Structure 1
Amino acid sequence: MSATDKVFAGSVPKLYDEYLVPLIFSVYADDLARRVAALSPSDLLEIAAGTGAVTRAVAALLPSDVRYVATDLNEPMLAVARQRQGDDPRMTWRQADALTLPFNDAAFDVVFCQFGAMFFPDRSKGYAETRRVLKPGGTYLFNVWDRIADNVFADEATATLGKMFPDDPPLFMARTPHGYHDKAVIKADLERAGFRDISIEILTATSRAPSAEYVAIAYCQGTPLRGEIEARDASRLEAATDAVAEAIRKRHGSGPVEAKIQALVITARP
């Protein structure tokens, strides 16, 4: 993983929330929220909350007496989440590293994380921290993206940018968001952290957008892919966005567009 893969700063958090969340995250946020709510947690921890796509979905399904702590490594992302959620007495917001959680042992009965584990520099260490803060009998729920070939828009954006920068293709999407999908590796990482009851489910959905341009802005300007493009040639960000939009338009049409997305949903207990 590149040092820039975890950098969500500048205009990225706002564009991420405005474009990328509706495009690919909302459907999985609703799924994870239902799974969390079904466990009837009393003390709940969210890791890598981002701009709060899952936070909002989960909070809408929980009763008033729940203690809900939402964390993220990036304070700019958490600031967007906090603003979007508004005043909620159940919520506590903490900037926190998933590998060194600032909480006592056995503090939460449910811990969950939407599309964050791919960014952990040491996944087993991150899982071990989750296990440490889980109460006996607690549950860890998280999801990760499946391989990039099963996530069409991300794959097309990556291929297009590879043609634009053939000597040094921007590979953020393939390397990190879609780089942790081997079920055997995920299971082994969890077992190394002390989890024993593990299930992994494939969940396929459809990504929809009002236009090809919308998709291109989401990926090229609302993710750390933006930093990769600008590192190669800052003056070509708009051209790169236009190229991705044109590639998607050619394949999916000039009006509203849709394509397959696919993720893995993992449930783990010690």
Structure 2
Amino acid sequence: MPETDKVFAGSIPKFYDTLMVPLIFEAYALDMAELVAASSPGAVLETAAGSGVVTRALAPRLGAGARYVVTDLNQPMLDYAATRQGGGADGNGGSSTGSINIEWRQADALKLPFEDASFDVVCCQFGAMFFPDRTAGYAEARRVLRPGGHFVFNVWDRIEENAFADEVTNAMAELFPQDPPRFLARTPHGYHDVALIREDLRRAGFTSIQIDTREKLSRSPSAREVATAYCQGTPLRNEIESRDANALQLATDRAARAIASRHGEGPVAGKIQAHVIVAAG
């Protein structure tokens, strides 16, 4: 994975949160919040939190006095997430949402700065695909889990099962035929093999593994908004600008045209699909 696949900086966090989150992430965040809160955990660690969509959904569901530590490798995304949470900063790198104190901390999911058996649940929404060593990341999650704890995470299914991402990728291949930008297929949608996911988790020491493939419908007011979300709110932007520093608007236009040709000029809807995993043991 190129280093640029992990760069969420500049204007990307804002576009990501305002456009990508409602487009594809919010519905799965609600699912994750429900799964995590179901066991009434006293301590939760979230890794690869991004702009905080799971954090916003989960914090109100946790019990009074629960510890909630929210981490991400990318400090700009974490900073943005903290500003979106509400409740105000507590002066110690945390914030308060009702009776829940949230601790925001930059951390590498492969080298967690926490003691063994510190959390009841570790959760990670659409972050495992970015781990350079997934087994190591899973082993770290297992290490910080208390006996009986659960690791809850999700990953996107193959790009062909996710309409807008596939259409944007194909549009970029037409625009840059000699060197097609493949960020979406390579990284967000590059870790979809259920058998491989199970094997990686077993190698990390998990013995109970449940995988549920969930299809949802992604909606947007327009094809233009979808194109802007993918081309300007993800590291695909880095790939486009590395090929031509002045091509971002053209790329967005081409993606919008491709989406409109398949879904119409008005409000658009497209299939999205992901694997939701709960691991223990």
Give the TM-score normalised by the residue count of structure 2.
Answer: 0.95
Q: Which amino acid aligns with 1:61?
A: R
Give the TM-score normalised by the residue count of structure 1.
Answer: 0.99
1:39 offset after TM fit, Å?
Answer: 1.2
1:65 offset after TM fit, Å?
Answer: 1.2
CA distance in 1: counterparts of 2:63 and 2:115, whole angstroms: 24
Question: What do the CA deviations read for 1:234-260 (whole angstroms, capped 9, x no partner)?
Answer: 111000000000111111111100000
Partner residue of 2:116 out of 88, 105, 110: 105
The answer for the alignment partner of 2:57 in structure 1 is 57
CA distance in 2: counterparts of 1:8 and 1:76, whole angstroms: 7
Identity over aligned residues, as a percent? Answer: 63
Partner residue of 1:174 out of 179, 182, 185: 185
Give matches, 1:134-149, under 5 Å. 134-149=145-160
The structure 1 segments of at least 4 consecutive aligned residues displaced by more than 3 Å after TM superposition are none
CA distance in 1: counterparts of 2:78 and 2:221, whole angstroms: 27
Give matches, 1:1-270, under 5 Å. 1-87=1-87, 88=96, 89-270=100-281
Decide whether the 8 Å contact of 1:64 with 1:90 is kept in 2. Answer: no
Q: Which stretch has the larger CA shift, 138-147 or 83-92?
A: 83-92
SS in 2 for 1:81: helix
1:3 offset after TM fit, Å?
Answer: 1.4
SS in 2 for 1:136: strand
SS in 2 for 1:103: coil
Decide whether the 8 Å contact of 2:68 with 2:103 is kept in 1. Answer: yes
- Unpaired runs of 5+ residues, structure 1, are none
1:125 offset after TM fit, Å?
Answer: 0.3
Question: What do the CA deviations read for 1:87-139 (whole angstroms, capped 9, x no partner)?
Answer: 31510000000000000000001000000000000000000000110001110
CA distance in 1: counterparts of 2:170 and 2:183, whole angstroms: 12
1:4 offset after TM fit, Å?
Answer: 0.6
Root mean square deviation, CA, Å = 0.6
